[in-house]
Every structure is written in structure tokens, then in C-alpha cells.
Amino acid sequence: MNKPLLPIAFLFVLLGLGNCFSPAIQPYTGVRVRVRGSNPERVVERFYAVGRDSARAARVSPTADSTAFELLLNLAADSTAYVLVSPTRVLDTLTIFYRRQAAFNASSCRRDYYLTIVPPDRPATDYARAARGTVENVQFSRSSITLDYRP
């Protein structure tokens, strides 16, 4: 084969592979907890995932009657428990239940797994549980879970 044709042949091989060099992207999977009530930012100061002291929740969109927290899910289990901390004490424990569904996508050059979170096989009233407070309005979307919590 002629040496000038080698780079051109290599280019055709790369173009034929299509998206083989692009990574699979999994959507962010997390929980948004809206803490409702009077002065919610003073009631719940922070969340911790049980067993992970360093995994703090990010506080987002505070309003007069609610404050939302963004939390990560444990993708290796079908539930995640969180500790709610007030400025002076441990306030409550919140456990969220879900089911993981993995889908396999095989293309000509790549094999990817995609993970989605769906409601668990239990009554809707038992999708989330709090030891002391009240959990309301649990909603599942393709990439997140949203719920309301009242201390």
C-alpha cells in the first residue's frame, strides 16, 4: 500500500466507528426534599446520608415557607436513609425507597448500562418514611425523586 494512503485509510476507519469514542452519560439521579413549615431554614440545618458523614446536602431555593435540599441516592441499594440535623440536635431520620432498573444498550462498538429509578413495589404511602415528621407528595421522574417533609 502506498504510504500517503495510510493516513486517509486510518481516517476512514475512525469515521466508520461513529460514536465509539464518546462516553455513555448517565443522568443525575438524586432526591429533592422540600422542608415545609414556618422558618424551615432554622428547623433543618443540614442532611447527612446515613454512613456518609462527608456527603452533605446542598440547600437550594429557600422561600418563606419551604427550603429545598438536593441529596444523592445510594445507587447500590433500593433505599437511602438520611439524618436531618437541626442547629441543636438530630431532628429526624428520613428513608426513601425506590427500585433500580438497568437497561443494556449494545451498539457496534460499545456496551452501556443505563440506570433509572422507579417507584418501589409497595403502596405509594410507603415510598418514603420519617421517624418523627411527616412525608407528603412523593413523586418519581426519570432522573430524580421529589418529596415534601414536615417536621
The pLDDT of residue 77 is 84
Is residue 20 included in any domain, yes or no?
no
The pLDDT of residue 55 is 55
Is residue 15 included in any domain, yes or no?
no
DSSP letter (8 states) at residue 125: G
Which is higher by pLDDT, 119 or 56?
119
Largest CA distance in the chain: 78
Enclosing domain of residue 98: 30-146
Is residue 9 included in any domain, yes or no?
no
Position 20 confidence tier, pLDDT thresholds 50, 70, 90: low
| Number of domains the chain is built from | 1
Contacts of 92 (CB under 8 A, 6+ apart): 83, 84, 130, 131, 132, 133, 151
Region label for 137, one of left (φ > 0), alpha (ψ between -120 and 50) or beta (otherwise):
left
Is residue 95 included in any domain, yes or no?
yes
pTM higher than the cut 0.75: no
